[in-house]
Amino acid sequence: MTASQSPRQRVVDLAFLDARSKLIDLAAFLDRVDRHPGSEDYRVAALKSALVELSGNEPDRARRVLEALSDPTEEPAPRAETQGATGAWRPPETCSPS
């Protein structure tokens, strides 16, 4: 890194390889999922929806990705469906009956 580099170039130089690695990991994960039969998991569907946000040039990509993975409802759930976080919002139509 030199003093003549722009701040933008410094960000790219510092973070590109990490971002590249994460993108390859994500592609490998999707390849592994796709190699097996079965219906689409709501978490994979949410992840694919969030990926669409990365292809544009609009600002606030991180916020939009987080929103694509988050519960959009405003009313509290009457009861918890699980004891732990799953990393993506599960629409009610994909929940299994109790």
Q: Quick one: which of 17, 26, 24 has its CA closest to 51?
A: 26
SS (H, E, C) 18-76: HHHHHHHHHHHHHHHHHCCCCCCCHHHHHHHHHHHHHHCCCCCHHHHHHHHHCCCCCCC
Per the structure, the complete domain to which residue 15 belongs is given by 8-71
Q: At what angle do helices 61-69 and 42-52 cross, to 10 degrees?
A: 160
- Does 82 map to a domain? no
- Does 79 map to a domain? no
- What is the three-class DSSP state of 77? coil
For the chain, how far is it from start to end, CA to CA, in angstroms? 57
Q: Per the structure, how many domains does the chain have?
A: 1
- pLDDT, tens digit, for every residue of 37-77? 999 999 999 999 999 998 888 999 999 999 999 988 888 87
- Does 41 map to a domain? yes
pTM for the whole structure: 0.76
